[in-house]
Structures are given as structure tokens and as C-alpha cells.
Structure 1
Amino acid sequence: MEDTPVRLPRHTLTTAVAIASSLLAGGVSAAGFDIGPFEATLRSNITLGASWRADDPSNGVLSPGNTNGEGRASSSTTDDGNLNYDQGDMYSFRLTGLHDLDLNAGNWGLFGRVKYWYDYALENDEVDHGHAANGYASGEELDTSDFEDLAQGKGIELLDAYIYGEFDAGDMPVELRAGNMALNWGESLFIQNGINVISPFDVTAIRRPGTEIREALLPVGMLYANVGVTYNLTLEAFYQYDWQRTILDECGTYWNAGDPYGGGCDYLTAVTSLPDGAQEAAGLTIARAPDDEPDDGGQYGISARYFMDSLNGTEFGLYYINYHSRTPIFSAINTTEAFGQPFLNPAVQPNFFFEFPEDIEVYGFTFATNVGLWAVAGELSYRPDLPLQINTVDLLQALALGSFAEWSPMTARSLAAGPGAYVAGYDNVEYTQAQISVIRFYEQVFGADRLSIAAEVGGAWVDGMEDGINYGRSATYGVGDFETFTSPIFGVPVSCNSHPVLGALGVVPNANADYCTDDGFTTGSSWGYQVRASLQYNDALAGVNLTPSVAWSHDVDGYGPAPNFVEGRQALSVALTADYLNVYRAELSYTSFFGADYNELADRDFLSLSFSVAF
């Protein structure tokens, strides 16, 4: 067995891209030709992939009303996607084309990327339960017409489109770019919520079989500059003139865990004892108001990176970023009349909506070096005012029941705001995150040409959460536990899963006593780790390279702001990739989720198969 030292890239892409390229490398073929003064390079990839559900839906995350009383979830607002797919169902069968065109004329040029796709399963397959957008019509296709463009079942999208140039300003090399582009800062490999927030993510693409890494980060309109001040010091800056949201799994699709999030899903159901369709027919719903999106401008950042030859070639980085949230916060508008029990009067119903808070600041520090044969990198990030989601069930019960929701920690805020007023679904908190990653290559091990290992451990710390307010935890599990008290309004004892008066109307704080706990909510600290390894067998079979790989993630302790760290959550993925001439590629993978009490996606094990050709 031989060891290969790993040298981190200097003043180029981050370690994340380097390791992704080594572990998950796809085709690198390209066609070159001339167009007038331009040297043109066209890189294309066509992928056909399919994914199947490998596990039965768990009754623990399905509402009783949607399962003839068998479900045990404390909310009916998180199970549409789960109910639409049984074990063995194909939830994606997708053809994707991705084409990059680079036109270079010496020191300047243009770069463009276009993507098109068709998902037969999403476009045509009938589902068992439906979603709000199709009126909960069982046995019909999902209505994806109002989804975000990249989340729809078919489409064509221009992604990157920018001009670039390089020149010397005196002795300083300068690179400029303008247009739609993706920009990746920081040293994170796997763990999110760090410095890498400049570009939104396409989460739906990451979940699809055969997805390329270049599909994950979405380009947005910006100006970018990179200046080599000295041999050792590099300055970077950007200004975004366009805001785009992260593309999340929309209502009714396999990975969605929030029924009201998605185009066309304009209401949420309010009780757990009735099917969703019956609630819609009876008006037992809360309507969705228009999303509150931020301004396009006002997002910018600057970084300084310093390379020290004297410290074993270590690179240090400092960062400042001001951005608008790419992921939604669930907020609400109070009823328009004085509180009694507005839930019984549809004319004065509250509304919910999704908002994206502006001007979130990030301060960051990174390092990247080599320790022996290990490449080691890390980052530290700090947000003085991170918008942290308040538990949505606490918020909704306060809005829907008004003063009757005496147990909800959000009732006081709702009443203080008054009729028709905005009630924020978040508080600003201080958020610190640290992570360290390592990479190493071994040559000639286990009969393979190369063993590649990458690992990352990270921790998060939250300060400034208000006492008595619950943050995070999926609505699946309802409200948290509280001490039994005597209701001043009704004069009866009220506990987490019992209300003698409202219970007669089918309303209790939490319908499942098993979820009456203080667990699952955001904690002051949390941490976890992820590991990925692959073995590369070159020319294993008639010129075909085989690469078996395994990926493991484990959230060890605590509950962090989404999507990081749910205590006990674990995932194991195994895959086999076959590659021929860096042109033809096939991959078979299986992923299993397990180990957490408050992971609403724990029953979404899946199998994927993909074929691709690069040219």
C-alpha cells in the first residue's frame, strides 16, 4: 500500500469541489472548435435515472385522519409526500441534459450553461393521496404547474450566463466576471449553514439519480472580482443584483415534509382526525398569503486569503457576507377580529405565509493545509442575527384558537400583536458554526488502484433563544410538553394531550402523548460528522473502471437549525459506479435512514439507478 499526499488547491476552488471531483468524478469529455475569434469548448452530459422507494411509510409520521386512524402524527400538514408513494413505487424517472459552452478569446470570454429535463414519473404517475394543488384527488397526477421552474417535472433553463476577463493592473493579476454565476466560498465538504451561502442550492437536483455536482449550486446575477494583491494575498468581492430562493422539495413530492410549501398548495389543514380532502371540503383550513420575498439588491461580500509558504503552504481566509435568506420562514397574520375561537369562524381566519428575512451577516475564517499525508481544512462562521424558526405548531395553535390556546407560548405574542397584525415566525439569534475536514488518498490498497477518504466533523452553537419559546422540530410531532394547569377560561385541567372542553371538538394540544416531550427542539449546541470513502479499480473489466463507495452521516448530539443536526439521525449510502473511457457511466446506489426520534424523513430509504454519457 502506498500513500499519496494530498495538496490542497491554492487560490482556486474549495476543498469541497476537489474531493467531490475525486470521489464522484463524472465524464470530462468535451468538444473543441473555433467560432470566429473564439476558441469554443462544449461539454455535454445526458443522464437517464430512476429512483424507487425502498421502505414502507411509517405510521409514526402519518396523521390519523389520512390513515383510517392508524397514523400517530400530531399534525396533518407534513404527510402528503409520504402518503403518495408506497414501498417499491418509482418516484422519479428522469432524463436530463446539461450543456456547458465556453467561448474564449484570449483574456476574456463568455460562459453559458443550459439544462433541460423530463421526469416521466413526476409528470404522469398517478399518486395515492394527492396534494392541495390538485384538491387532494386520489388516483390523479400531482399538479406541478405552479412549482418553481427547476422543481417541475419538465423544463429547460438557462443557468450560468456570464462574461469574464483577466488582465494585469500593474503587477496584480485581476479576474472579473459579470452575469449569472455560482460562487462558492469556504472550506465545507458536507455540512451546510457555514460560509457557503452566496449561491442558493437546488435541493431537488441533489436528490435525483445521476445528478452532477455542477447542478447543485444555482447561479444568480452578480458582479465578481478577484485581485492577486501579492503572491501571497488574494482579495475577492462580489455584489449580487439578483435574489433567488433555494429550490426545495414541493408539496406532495416524495421528499417534501411540509404540505403547504409548494406552488399551488395555498392552504394547510387544521386538524388530525379528518382526511385532508374532507377538511378542505369543510373549510377546516388556513389559507396561505403571498410569499414575502426580499429585494434583489443589498447582497455583497468580501474575502481575503493569505498563503504562507513558511507554514507548510497553509492558506488562511477571512470573509464577510451580507445576504438575504434563501430558505423560507413560516410566519403568519392574525385574525381580523378580536379573539375568541376564530377557528370556528371562517370569515376571520388567520393566514400563513413564507418570508425570507433580509440582511443576514456572516463573518468567517478558514484555513487549508497539509498535515503529513492528510489534507486538512476548516472553517469558523458567525452570524450575529440568524433568523431561527419558531415551532410552527405553537404558532398555528395560537393563531387558530386565539386566547383558547392557553398552553401555547406564542399566544401572548399573537394577542399582543392584535387583529390583522403580522406575527413573526422567527427570532434572531446568535449562531456560531465550526467544522474541520480531512482528505487522504491511499494507492494500491484492497486490490484497488486508489482508496479515497473524506470526513468532516462540525458543531453549532445558538445563543439568544428566548426562554419559554420552542424553536424548530417538525410539525409532525406537535407541541412540546408542559406542566398541567387549570384553565382560567374553562376551569378544567389542561395537559399536553388532554383538554376536557376543546377535546369534545377534536382539539387537544398534542394528539399523541408519545410526542409530549421537550426533545427535538433546537438546542444551544449540537454536532455531528460525515464520512465518505471509495475504492477505484481501474480497468477492472474490459476497460471499465469500477468504484464502490460508502457514505455515512451521524448527528451525534443536540438539535441544530435546519438542515443540520437532528440528534441520533444517521444515514448510510452504498454505491457502485462503472465508468468507461470517462464517457459512459452507470451507478447503482442504496440509501438507508435510521436512528433518530424526531426525523420525519426516517422512512424514506431509496434505491437509485442512473446511466449517463459525456461528450
Structure 2
Amino acid sequence: MNKHSFSKTRTHVAVRNMIAAGLFAAAVMPVQAAQFKVGDFDLSVNSTVSAGTSFRVEGRDRALFAASNTDEQGLAGTGLSSTGDDGNLNFDSGDAFSTIIKGVHDFELKKDNYGFFSRVKWFYDYTLNKSGVPHGNGPNGYTPDARLDDNGFHPYARFDGIDLLDAFGYINTEVGGMPLDLRLGKQVISWGESTFILSPIAGLNTIDVSAFRRPGAELKEGFTPAEMLYANLGVTDNTSVEAFYQLKWRKTVPEGCGTYFSSSDFAADGCNFVTFGPQPDQTAITTNALSVSRTLDRQPDDGGQYGLAIRTYAAELDTEFGAYYLNYHSRLPLVSILTSSTGAPYGLAAGKDGRYLIDYSEDISVLGGSFATNVGGWAWSGELSYTMDQPIQLNAFDLLQGSLAFNPQSNFTQRLQAAPPGSIVEGFDRFDVTQIQNTLIKTFDRALGASQVVFVGEAAAVFVSGLPEAGPGQDRYGKAAVFGFAPATGDFNGFVTDFSWGYRLRAAATYRDVFLGTDLIPSIAWSHDVDGWSPEPGQAFNEGRQSVGLGLGFEFDANTKASISYTTFTNGADYDVLRDRDFVSLTASYSF
């Protein structure tokens, strides 16, 4: 048996992922790793150090921060909740929101057919560490003009740090004449065919959201590993069986409250208050009657997370097919309520000891299938997944109205009244969700005067089974609290719908040796959520949301690069809390 025959069927998939990440040039011009001998072992070291800064280039939309809060000009917002506006209020047009230096270092120690791989990253954000902001966040007590406080933040979300990412041992051997690859330790597993739009199959991996927001972000910085045992057995030349068992539960880490892209002031680690009412955050956080505190998160068990994948290559169709089954616990934060132990008749505020908590549900099962082929010079891949018992967050304002005031117009009130004192009432329900997506990739040689142009497009649709239509007397899901309490506003749009879809497009051209040996790589990316609102948390589609990204990369040699990019969010989405966050980024990197 050819030990490497199956891996060859995956070549176009790996290239697709690099293209989608904007790394195609790096793929065809690899950086030579530093090589050393350590006794009988070979040690290779790959490093990338980068610096960059990002600036806001659009003023605030007053509809996206609360009437109880004001900007530097003293203008009050027109939004209907203060639970997600800290990031907007802390940075005005022209302000830098991140100025960072960071590094990623890969180490591989190997001998014969076994070895050990590890990855370490470090970062320091000068802006967040040194610059004051006008509004603040919960950890700094909403102190005006002070620096944000990252005390209590998850290490990934802090403003500086050193993190061990991957750390696993591996061996490539044979069992009964069949090649077997084994890995044990912290690692990321790449399953499925999604590129831009995260699928439930790829959702087995966790994400460091802050890392993806930093200037010059790379994929390997943002996808965070978990402790797993992984095996890949080549049962024939064209078929493999893969399996994993996760040994420790890990979660996706959102941005810290008060940072530029944060859309929740209370869900991230270290962000422990929900403020409400007519007073500004600085007042509400010190007043029991105007804020609710957070209790301990409810985290799932480490065990019970596993997956199986079968891939086969049909030579007569030039197509690889995949089938998947996974069971894992929620990686995304959900909000639930711990009722008052006194059974107070007016909810959390009156009971004083009622709390909210961040919840993670267990046992989300995913069935999926995929294909990857080439048609007429286009790489075409697709994926179908069926997720059983996916948790979907109830509307935030309904939770507030039910838990703070026992408002009869909130269905959540009935759940609270039926719960015994001091018990947890889940702020989410479970539904079966189907997702289908397709990806197309094409490389055009010597087009538009360039050496090559690479195009990537992906579209996806999401279907939720049994979801009630949002309306009076119905449970409502998703939609940020800043858009108000639907029975009061009369606006029942923007909630999670049973169908949603959108697409992503990206094109990049490479112009070789334009000046002094420098390659220029202009790029454009377009994202459009066409119809419907998909499940939260982790919402893929928000109807009308569009963004355009323009970039220009400079490759001075295989090691040295720089870029400038501009990203704009259109105002086409009525219920997008990030629609006013246009920004510019400048980055430079050196690999060795």
C-alpha cells in the first residue's frame, strides 16, 4: 500500500484553505525553517513576528448605544439597552483601537516516524495597555478616560500575554499493513469543507475571537487547540477512517468587554454586570437596583466529546466524499438566570440575590457529509450538516423583562414563575438545525495583467426545524437588546428565523516584481447576508448585513511582508450592532 496515496486526494483542499486565508503566496514561496540537531532528533523552528495598528474611520451610530449613555460630545444614544455598547462608546472615528506587536513560534522535534509539535504565541497591545478611553468597562468601574481593565479576562482576550497553543506528540506507523497516524495532546482538527462560513462540523474547534480581530491575524493564531486523542487509519489506498476523543472541554473566547468589536458588556470572562435603567453605566454599576451581578459559569463535563469521519476518493468521479458524526459540548456562551433564593415576586432586582450566569449546554450531535471535486478548472466543494439539539439563545430583552420585572409580555416570565427559588432557568431552547454550503475556487493565470488571480466564493443556508415565528405571545430568539422589547416597540423583525442564507466572495491578484523585487497583491472581499437571521450565539447571517474589504499586500521577499486594508460595513442591516465599525489596518511581518 502507498502510505501517502490518500493524502494526495486532499491536496486541493489544503490549497483552498490557504487561498481563502490570503496565504497563497506564502504557500508557493515557503519560508525555510531553522534546522538543528538535538542528539538523535531533528529540531525545526518556524517563527513569524509582526506589528500593526487599526483605526476606526467611521463615527458612532447613536441607535447603537443607550439613551442612558453619552458620547464625548455629550450626545445621548437612541438605543434601548446599555448591555452591549461599551466598545462603541470607547472609540471614536480616528482613534486607534489596537496597536500590537506579536509573534508565533512553531517547534517540531522528530526522529524517524515520531515526534512532538508545539506552537507558542505572544502579544502586546500598546493602545489597550496605555491609552485611556472615554467610557470604560465593567472591570475598570466605568472610569472615564482611564485605560480599560482586563482583570479577569480570559488569557486569550487580555491585552498582553504568552500562550501555549498546540502541544502534541505524534507517531506514524502501521497496523495490519495499513498506515496509522496517531496524535495525543493539544491540537486542532480540520474536518469538513467550510472556508469562510463556519459549519457545525468545523465547529468542533474553538476560536480566539480577539486574535482574529488583531492587525495581521493568521489562522493559526485564531483557531485554538484542545486536548485530544486523534487517529487516522488508511484502510485502503483511497479510503481513510479518522476519529478523535476530546479529553478536556474548551470554549470559544469572545472579545473582552469594552474593546472595539465587543458586542456584549457582560458575557466575556471578567465582565460581571448587566446594567439597565435610565442611569449611565457609571452610576448603574454602583447601584444594586440598576445592575445584576454574574454568578459562576455552568461549564460542561470534559468527557463525552468525540467524533468519527470516513473519507473516500472516487477516482472515476475525481471526487472525495466524506461522512462525519460528532458529539461535543457547546463552545459558545449562553445566558441563563439563577432565580432569587427568596422567591421575590419582582424578579432579580427585587430579590437582590438573583443572578445571571454564562451557560454551556452539553451533547450537541452533528451528522454531516461533504464532497470535493474539480469541474472545468474550478475546485468545487460542499457540505451538508444536521445538528441535533443545538441551543439557541432567547432574546436578550425578553430575558431582562422577564427576570427583572416579571413582565407578562415576556414568555420568559412564565418559566421563572414556574421555577423554584434558587434554581437555574435556562435562557435558551434546543432545535435541530440543518446547514448546507458550497465553495468554488478558481485560479486564473496571467489575468488582469497579473501573474495570477485567485477567486474564492462560498454560499450557505441555514434551516431551523420547529422554530416558532416571532410575534406576540411567542418565544423569540436572538436579536441584540439595544433594539428593544418587541411588545413595546411593535417590531417583531430581526429575531432568529427558520431560514437564512448569505455568501462570501474574495479575489486576490499577484503582480510579480513591480518595483525593486517587490510583489503587489491587491485583494477585495465582499460579505452579504441576503435573507433571514440565523441562530445565536455565533450568528452566521443577519439580514442585510454587508461588508467590503479592500487590501494591498507587499511581499518584499519570502520572509518580509506588509499590508494595508480598509473594511467598511454598510448600513443595510437594521439589526447589526457592528454596522458602524469601519476600520483601517496597517501591518508588517517577518518570518524566519
Superposition TM-score, scaled by structure 1 size: 0.90
Task: Provide, for residues 448-479 of structure 1, a one-character-per-residue CA deviation record: whole Å limited to 9, x for no partner.
Answer: 00000000000000012246100000111122
CA distance in 2, matches of 1:578, 1:386: 43
Offset at residue 79 of structure 1 (A): 0.4
- Residue identity opposite 1:348 in structure 2: K
* 1:163 match: 169
> Shift of residue 238 of structure 1?
0.5
How far off is 1:11 after superposition? 4.0
SS at 1:370 equivalent = strand
Q: Which residue of 1 aligns with 2:42?
A: 39
One-letter code aligned to 2:346: Q
Task: Give the aligned residue type for 1:602.
Answer: R
1:51 and 1:235, CA in 2 relative to 1: closer, same or farther beyond 3 A? same
SS in 2 for 1:205: helix
Matched, 1:598 2:575: yes
1:124 to 112, 126, 130: 130
Match of 2:91 in 1: 85
1:365 is aligned to 2:365: no
1:348 Cα deviation from its structure 2 partner: 3.3
C-alpha distance in 2 between matches for 1:335 and 1:372: 64
Residue 379 of structure 2, aligned match among 375, 379, 390: 375
Q: Distance in 2 between matches of 1:124 and 1:418?
A: 47
For residue 416 of structure 1, report the CA deviation from its aligned partner.
Answer: 1.1
Decide whether the 8 Å contact of 1:308 with 1:315 is kept in 2. Answer: yes
**Which region of structure 1 is more displaced relative to structure 2, 552-561 or 467-476?**
467-476
CA distance in 2, matches of 1:261, 1:524: 25
The corresponding residue for 2:20 is 20
**2:435 equivalent to 1:429:** no
Aligned equivalent of 1:464: 466
SS class of match (2:520): strand
Question: Is 1:48 aligned to residue 40 of structure 2?
Answer: no
Are the equivalent residues in 1 in contact too, given 2:20–2:456 (CA < 8 A)? no
**Distance in 2, Cα, partners of 1:320 & 1:214:** 25
Would you say 1:326 and 2:331 are equivalent positions? yes
Find the aligned partners of 1:23 and 1:108 in 2 and give their Cα distance.
28
Query: Which has the larger displacement, 210-219 or 172-181?
Result: 210-219
Q: Distance in 2 between matches of 1:84 and 1:315?
A: 49
1:439 alignment counterpart: 441
2:563 maps to which of 587, 598, 604: 587
**1:342 CA displacement:** 4.2
Contact 1:15 1:188 in 2 (8 A): no
Matched to 1:400, the amino acid is L
SS in 2 for 1:530: strand
TM-aligned CA distance change 1:331 to 1:25, over 3 Å: farther
Distance in structure 1 (CA, Å) of the matches to 2:64 and 2:583: 17
Please report how far the alpha carbon of residue 336 of structure 1 lies from its aligned counterpart in structure 2 after TM superposition: 2.6
Counterpart of 1:60, as a letter, is: A
Partner of 1:384: 388
C-alpha deviation, 1:260, in angstroms: 0.7
Q: 1:61 to 1:28 in 2, by over 3 A?
A: same
Q: Any conservation in 1 of the 2:87–2:257 contact (CA below 8 Å)?
A: yes
Give the letter aligned to residue 527 of structure 1. W
1:315-362 superposed Cα distances (whole Å, 9 cap, x missing partner): 0000001111111001111223344334663x5342111011111101
> What does 1:516-595 align with in structure 2 at a 5 Å threshold?
516-561=490-535, 562-594=538-570, 595=572
The SS at the match of 2:403 is helix
Partner Cα separation in structure 2 for residue 22 and residue 236 of structure 1: 28
Give 2:3's aligned residue: none
Residue 293 of structure 1 and its aligned partner are, at CA, apart by 1.2
Matched with 1:3 is none
Alpha-carbon shift at residue 69 of structure 1 (Å): 6.3
More displaced, 150-159 or 360-369?
150-159
Shift of 1:294: 1.2
In structure 2, the residue corresponding to 1:129 is in which secondary structure?
coil
Written as runs of structure 1 = structure 2, the 5 A alignment for 1:477-496 is 477-480=483-486, 482=487, 496=488
Cα distance in structure 2, aligned partners of 1:557 and 1:438: 21
Distance 1:559 1:530 in 2: 16
Which residue of the other structure, out of 67, 71, 76, is the alignment partner of 2:77?
71
Residue aligned with 1:161, SS: strand
Deviates more, 1:528-537 or 1:136-145: 136-145
2:356 is the counterpart of 1:352: yes
The 1:466–1:339 alpha-carbon spacing in structure 2 relative to 1, beyond 3 Å, is farther
**3-state SS in 2 of match to 1:256:** coil
- How far apart are the structure 2 equivalents of 1:409 and 1:56? 37
Distance across 1 between alignment mates of 2:349 and 2:542: 36
Q: Secondary structure at the match of 1:388?
A: strand
Aligned CA distance change for structure 1 residues 358 and 18 (closer, same or farther; 3 Å) = same
Aligned to 1:407: 409
Letter in 2 for 1:385: D
Following superposition, the deviation at residue 300 of structure 1 comes to: 0.5
Does the C-alpha gap of structure 1 residues 292 and 171 become closer, same or farther in structure 2, counting only changes over 3 Å? same
**RMSD across aligned C-alpha pairs, in angstroms?**
1.6
CA contact (8 A) 2:200 2:385 kept: yes
1:134-179 deviation line (CA, Å, top 9, x unaligned): 1110111111021110111111111111111111223211111111
Alignment of 1:203 onto 2:205: no
Return closer, same or farther for 1:391/1:536 CA change in 2, 3 Å cut-off.
Answer: same
Does structure 2 conserve the Cα–Cα contact (< 8 Å) formed by 1:32 and 1:40?
A: yes
In 2, the alpha carbon distance for the partners of 1:442 and 1:16 equals 14
Percent of matched pairs sharing the same residue:
41
- 1:291 is matched with which residue? 297
Matched residue type, 1:541: F
Gaps of 5+ in 1: 1-7, 483-495, 497-512
Are 1:390 and 1:426, in contact at CA under 8 Å, matched by a contact in 2? yes
One-letter amino acid of the counterpart of residue 29, structure 1: Q
Structure 2: distance between partners of 1:16 and 1:65:
48
